[in-house]
Amino acid sequence: MKGLGELERSIMDILWAHEGPLTAREVGRLIADRDLAPTTVMTVLDRLTRKGFLNRTRDGRAWRYEASASRDAYVAELMLEALDMTGDRSAALTRFAQTVSGSEADILRRALTELEEE
């Protein structure tokens, strides 16, 4: 999975936060902190679609875009890629476990227990 640039991340944040697909024009209106040309927004949406981050469907003359996976799924994939970069996954997981808070450790324990019970 490829990473996201700053503008790509801003657009993905909008699409992850919104329920239902949006047109390029709607996305452009929701990027409040930038004054972007509509063609720039369309180019980034097209690039995100080609990278597999977005699905698009035709709506008249426009395209509607929505995230192909949740933000949680994207972050989990990034974490797995980071684990793949280490020569010792066990050491990396141990170090990670040592740095999480008590409540985060409880969440991990519950998730692992649920996986074992399946």
Q: Please tell me the pTM assigned to this model.
A: 0.81
Task: Give 37-91 pLDDT, tens digit per residue.
Answer: 889 999 999 999 999 999 999 999 999 999 999 999 999 999 998 898 998 999 9
pLDDT, position 35: 79
Query: Is-contact 5 47, C-beta < 8 A?
Result: no
- Enter the tokens of residue 4: 């996201």
Alpha carbon 72 to its chain centroid, in Å, reads: 7
Please give the Cα distance from 77 to 116 (Å, whole number). 21
